[in-house]
């Protein structure tokens, strides 16, 4: 998995829980070979998602769960043995109009991810406050760009369409793919569209 740079993450239809399929992207951008499956724990106040190595959901690849942080929640990403290998949190101060996330990979990098389009960010912001629109999903595509010291290292793009689909592009070879995938899943599982 670490050798791949582009992934397609698709939310599948399920009545019981938020479920996702993570595939390697083909050169044309379509879904290729599935490399992971994820399931969101329903009714979890702090957000909890487990990523599995295959569709049987017997072997855990990674999992994240929220814990109290200075402002909101910090999400620790752990491997199958329970060891933390990364974390992320929404930067509440910077997220007033444009959502901003901090992604940490201990010993290597600290990424800042920000919604690229101010217009789309503003429309999403207004969308959340218009009565009854909270029941209508915000399907307009958006894109997050992740940088460290101004250098682009990763992008996440939500695609326009009836099905929820994200394209994760990793531009730095030392970013742990499990952390990048977990954070992309969080953009869907934790965001209120």
pLDDT digit string (tens) for the chain, length 193 residues = 899 999 999 998 776 678 999 999 999 989 999 999 999 877 665 678 999 999 999 999 999 998 887 767 899 999 999 999 999 998 877 666 788 999 999 988 899 999 887 777 777 777 777 777 766 766 677 889 999 999 999 999 998 777 789 999 999 999 999 999 999 999 988 874 4
> What is the greatest pairwise CA distance in the chain?
45
Task: Determine how β-strand 100-105 pairs with β-strand 31-40.
Answer: unpaired
Domain ranges of the chain: 6-189
**What gap in Å lies between CA 59 and CA 68, rounded to an integer?**
28
**What gap in Å lies between CA 172 and CA 50, rounded to an integer?**
24
Sign of CA dihedral 101, 57, 159, 141: negative
CA distance to 45, 53, 58, per residue, from 37 (Å): 22, 6, 11
Q: What is the CATH number of domain 6-189?
A: 3.20.90
| Burial (CB count <10 Å: 0-12, 13-18, 19+), residue 190 | buried
pTM: 0.87
**What gap in Å lies between CA 89 and CA 111, rounded to an integer?**
11
Q: Which residues, 6 or more positions from 51, have their beta carbon under 8 angstroms from its beta carbon?
A: 22, 36, 37, 38, 60, 61, 62, 63, 178, 181, 182, 185
**What gap in Å lies between CA 140 and CA 137, rounded to an integer?**
9
The DSSP bridge partners found for residue 143 are 157
């Amino acid at each position: 998995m670490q050798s791949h740079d582009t992934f397609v993450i698709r939310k599948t239809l399920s009545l019981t829980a938020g479920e996702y399929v993570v595939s390697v992207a083909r050169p044309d951008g379509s879904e290729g070979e599935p490399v992971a499956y994820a399931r969101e724990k329903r009714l979890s106040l702090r957000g909890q998602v487990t990523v599995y190595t295959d569709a049987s959901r017997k072997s855990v690849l990674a999992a994240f769960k929220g814990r109290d942080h200075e402002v909101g929640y910090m999400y620790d990403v752990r491997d199958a043995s329970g060891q933390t290998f990364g974390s992320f949190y929404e930067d509440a101060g910077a997220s007033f109009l444009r959502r901003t996330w901090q992604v940490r990979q201990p010993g290597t990098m600290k990424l800042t991810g920000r919604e690229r389009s101010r217009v789309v960010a503003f429309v999403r912001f207004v969308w959340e406050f218009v009565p009854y629109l909270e029941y209508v999903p915000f399907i307009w595509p958006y894109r997050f760009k992740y940088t460290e010291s101004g250098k682009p290292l990763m992008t996440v793009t939500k695609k326009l369409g009836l099905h929820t689909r994200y394209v994760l592009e990793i531009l730095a070879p030392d970013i742990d793919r499990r952390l990048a995938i977990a954070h992309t899943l969080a953009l869907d599982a934790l965001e209120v569209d």
